[in-house]
Amino acid sequence: MPAQADPPGPARVAALVLAATPIGDVRDASPRLVEELTTADVVAAEDTRRLRRLTDRLGVAVGGELVSYHEHNEASRTPELVERVAAGARVLLVTDAGMPSVSDPGFRLVEACVAADLPVTCVPGPSAVLMSLALSGLPVDRFCFEGFLPRKQGERERTLAALAQEPRTMVFFEAPHRLAATLGSMATTLGADRPAAVCRELTKTYEEVRRGPLSELVDWASGGVRGEITVVVAGRAATGPGDPAEVIPQVLERVAAGERLKDVCRDVAADTGLSARDLYEEALRARHP
């Protein structure tokens, strides 16, 4: 019996295409990325020189027009690229590594295309966020991505203080020369014993994952660390059920903002270990004393 051919992919129509590029190992480039690079009408790259180095290593050439799209020109270039898509072009957006718009240029262009009711699609691929989560050894059933923290210590610690009660695992990007200071702020604000992991140089030759309490990671990083850095920090540990009355103001505030009472009670119960039924009944008593 002859082998069945793969089903045809989607028709190549005018669209904005976000494509993930390797975060280290060029072998992680997907066949779809290669196809889009060689067939797109326009390729918008965060750094055109880095993209050319990638295509040289892949043994391919950009088939369409190559333009730059970075934080310094995205405001002026976005309308031009939206017009190209509206006129029927397939515009491929790539950044230096990983997925566009995740702490990289791209959101402004996606927002503009959505507002213009133009198609936006995505070529999946490498992600430092997801890879770090998977390697961290910390809970990954619920997580949040916080990007880069403020550079100034006071602003950084105020931001972290607002996250002190966050129950989900948190993911941050950080520059290597600021890592020790950031870990120190985390230890001060979130607690020296809070479990965490520092992932550096993912998929590269010197890939390393350091796991431990924040206090130990501060000592390790004080000697200097190089490479691309992602920090994963455990969320606030559950301390056991408390008094439902303590969280009722939070429940009622969310209900007043438009959420359903039952949904809010279920969500808060998952975070606190309290009974959703007890929360619901307490909220009803608070609303109708």
Whether 4 maps to a domain, the answer reads: no
Among 90, 103, 96, 116, residue whose Cα is nearest residue 35: 90
* Average confidence score pLDDT of the chain: 92
Indicate whether 110 and 137 sit together in one domain: no
Q: Model confidence over 169-197: pLDDT tens digits?
A: 999 999 999 999 999 999 999 999 999 99
* Per-residue confidence (pLDDT) for residue 120, from 0 to 100: 97
Indicate whether 143 and 76 sit together in one domain: no
Indicate whether 175 and 209 sit together in one domain: yes
Indicate whether 190 and 157 sit together in one domain: yes
Residues 6 or more apart in contact with residue 264 via CB below 8 angstroms: 251, 254, 255
Whether 7 maps to a domain, the answer reads: no
Give SS3 for 168. Answer: coil
Indicate whether 195 and 251 sit together in one domain: no
Q: Model confidence over 60-76: pLDDT tens digits?
A: 999 999 999 999 999 99
Residues 6 or more apart in contact with residue 239 via CB below 8 angstroms: none
Indicate whether 37 and 79 sit together in one domain: yes
Whether 171 maps to a domain, the answer reads: yes
Cα–Cα distance measured from residue 216 to residue 67, given in angstroms and rounded to the nearest whole number: 45
* Per-residue confidence (pLDDT) for residue 278, from 0 to 100: 87
Indicate whether 100 and 183 sit together in one domain: no
Indicate whether 118 and 132 sit together in one domain: no
Whether 202 maps to a domain, the answer reads: yes
Q: What are the CA-CA distances from residue 129 to residues 37, 125, 147, 159, 221 (Å)?
A: 24, 12, 9, 20, 20
Mean pLDDT of 245-260: 89
- Total count of domains within the chain: 3
Q: Which amino acid is at 263?
A: D
Mean pLDDT of 251-260: 91
Q: Model confidence over 272-284: pLDDT tens digits?
A: 778 888 899 889 9
Give the β-pairing of 90-94 and 65-68: unpaired
Q: Is the pTM of this model over 0.85?
A: no
Q: How confident is the model at residue 12 (pLDDT cuts 50, 70, 90)?
A: confident
Q: Model confidence over 72-110: pLDDT tens digits?
A: 999 999 999 999 999 999 999 999 999 999 888 999 999
Query: Which residue among 92, 123, 154 closes a domain?
Result: 123
Neighbouring C-beta atoms of residue 84, cutoff 10 Å: 19
* Per-residue confidence (pLDDT) for residue 8, from 0 to 100: 52
Cα–Cα distance measured from residue 235 to residue 219, given in angstroms and rounded to the nearest whole number: 21
Strands (E), 98-207: 120-123, 143-148, 169-174, 195-200
Give the β-pairing of 120-123 and 90-94: unpaired
Indicate whether 34 and 95 sit together in one domain: yes
- 10-19, 43-52, 154-163: the lowest-pLDDT one: 10-19
Range of the domain at 55: 15-123
Indicate whether 19 and 113 sit together in one domain: yes
* Per-residue confidence (pLDDT) for residue 3, from 0 to 100: 55
Cα–Cα distance measured from residue 172 to residue 181, given in angstroms and rounded to the nearest whole number: 14
Whether 19 maps to a domain, the answer reads: yes
Indicate whether 23 and 46 sit together in one domain: yes
Indicate whether 19 and 118 sit together in one domain: yes
